[in-house]
């Protein structure tokens, strides 16, 4: 078994660049919600690393909850509609909600989870993503806070996975082509 970092072909966003952008995003969020409390909803597993680091750059009060959604099996393209595996438990009625995901790709996940949250009667709903792949939307969706716009390539690291692997990498990168669909994971 090789170390996960050795499987990366090309770095798309470095660790230092992520750290710097997170400070800026934290400031943007502090400003947008000044004087209010925010209910942060993380879409897991993908957003766990991003949310863990981002909320420590947020100085306004927050409540945190997660929704567990799956839209990928062990492949590099969506094979099913987003499936809600574990629901939100926090009462979002009248809350200012900030929904956070790792990446906005086709838009299906954020569109679906936004619908669910709106049914819970929040006072407001904004969305935040670390990465935005702008080229592949199948539903119209734009995030309010975006870390980085990236080209339409399958990336891993900093919470993003391939078959639940590579989430621990501190950077965002593209896997070596021969590793993107290994036969043993098919
Ligand atoms: P969407 O529903 O197509 O917008 O995709 C959102 C979800 O797909 C994210 O929460 C990720 O889990 C996954 N995803 C999309 N693109 C990538 C990628 O390049 N690498 C890893 N996961 C991805
Ligand atoms: Mg995933």
How do residues 51-97 score in pLDDT, each as one tens digit? 999 999 999 999 999 999 987 655 565 556 788 999 999 999 999 99
| Residue 160 CB–ligand 1 contact under 6 Å | yes
Query: Which of 77, 83, 160 for mutating ligand 1's site (highest number of atoms within 8 Å of CB)?
Result: 160
Residue 74: predicted pLDDT: 54
Measured CA to CA, the distance from residue 27 to residue 81 in angstroms comes to 34
Tell me the C-alpha to C-alpha distance, in Å, between residue 155 and each of 71, 92, 132, 143, 179: 16, 32, 11, 19, 12
Residue 70: predicted pLDDT: 87
Average pLDDT score over residue span 26-52: 98
1 pLDDT higher than 90: no
- Expressed in angstroms and rounded, the spacing between residue 145 Cα and the centre of ligand 1 is 17
- What atom of ligand 1 comes closest to residue 101's alpha carbon? 10
104 pLDDT higher than 80: yes
Give the pairing of strands 172-175 and 8-13. Answer: antiparallel
| Segments of 14-167 assigned E as strands | 38-44, 62-70, 83-86, 96-104, 124-133, 145-150, 155-156
Q: Which long-range contacts (CB under 8 A, 24 or more apart) does 25-31 make?
A: 25/54, 25/57, 25/128, 25/145, 25/147, 26/54, 26/56, 26/57, 26/58, 26/59, 27/57, 28/145, 29/54, 29/57, 29/58, 29/60, 29/98, 29/128, 29/145, 30/58, 30/59, 30/60
Residue 184: predicted pLDDT: 52
| Residue 78 CB–ligand 1 contact under 6 Å | yes
- Expressed in angstroms and rounded, the spacing between residue 36 Cα and the centre of ligand 1 is 30
Measured CA to CA, the distance from residue 5 to residue 23 in angstroms comes to 25
Pick the residue whose CA is nearest to atom 9 on ligand 1.
103
Residue 135: predicted pLDDT: 78
125 pLDDT higher than 50: yes
| Residue 75 CB–ligand 1 contact under 6 Å | no
Task: For residue 43, give the ligand nearest its CA.
Answer: 1
Average pLDDT score over residue span 151-170: 96
- 105, 132, 144, 152: which is the annotated catalytic residue? 105
Angle between helix axes 15-32 and 48-55 (nearest 10 degrees) is 60
Tell me the average pLDDT of the chain.
93
| Residue 7 CB–ligand 1 contact under 6 Å | no
Residue 186: predicted pLDDT: 40
Percent over 70 (pLDDT), the chain? 92
pTM listed for this prediction: 0.93
Measure CA of the first residue to CA of the last residue in the chain; give whole Å: 19
Structure tokens at 79: 């094979």
Active site residue 161: no
Name, in order, each residue with C-beta under 8 angstroms of 27's C-beta and a sequence gap of 6 or more: 57
Tell which residue, 4, 1, 2, has the closest CA to residue 175: 4
């Amino acid at each position: 078994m090789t170390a996960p970092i050795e499987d990366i072909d090309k770095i798309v966003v470095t660790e230092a660049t992520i750290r710097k952008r997170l400070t800026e995003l934290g400031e943007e969020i502090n400003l947008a919600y000044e004087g209010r409390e925010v209910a942060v909803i993380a879409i897991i597993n993908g957003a766990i690393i991003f949310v863990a680091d981002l909320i420590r750059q947020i100085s306004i009060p927050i409540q945190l909850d997660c929704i567990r959604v799956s839209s990928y099996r062990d492949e590099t393209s969506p094979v099913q509609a987003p499936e809600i595996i574990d629901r939100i438990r926090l009462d979002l009625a009248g809350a200012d909600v900030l929904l956070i995901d790792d990446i906005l790709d086709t838009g299906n996940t954020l569109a679906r989870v936004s619908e669910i949250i709106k049914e819970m009667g929040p006072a407001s709903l904004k969305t935040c993503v670390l990465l935005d792949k702008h080229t592949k939307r199948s539903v119209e969706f734009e995030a309010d806070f975006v870390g980085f716009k990236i080209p339409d390539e399958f990336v891993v690291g900093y919470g993003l996975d391939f078959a639940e692997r590579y989430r621990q990498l501190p950077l965002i990168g593209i896997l070596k082509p021969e590793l993107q669909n290994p036969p043993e994971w098919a």
